[in-house]
Amino acid sequence: MTAVSEVSKLAKLRAKTDRGLVHVIANALELGVQCASAAPDCASPLYSRAKAIYANAVQLLPGVEDQAKRQRLENKLDQLRDSLDKLVSGRTVSSSAC
* Ranges assigned E (strand) in the chain: none
Alpha carbons 44 and 32: distance in angstroms, whole number: 13
Sign of the torsion formed by the C-alpha atoms of 84, 85, 88 and 90: negative
Q: What is the pLDDT of residue 4?
A: 77
What pTM was estimated for this model as a whole?
0.83
Contact 62, 76 (CB under 8 A): no
| Gyration radius of the chain's alpha carbons | 18
Alpha carbons 79 and 70: distance in angstroms, whole number: 14
Alpha carbons 14 and 40: distance in angstroms, whole number: 41
Rounded to an integer, what is the distance from CA 8 to the centroid of its chain? Answer: 30
pLDDT digits (tens, 9 = 90+) for 40-95: 999 999 999 999 999 999 999 999 999 999 999 999 999 999 999 999 987 533 34
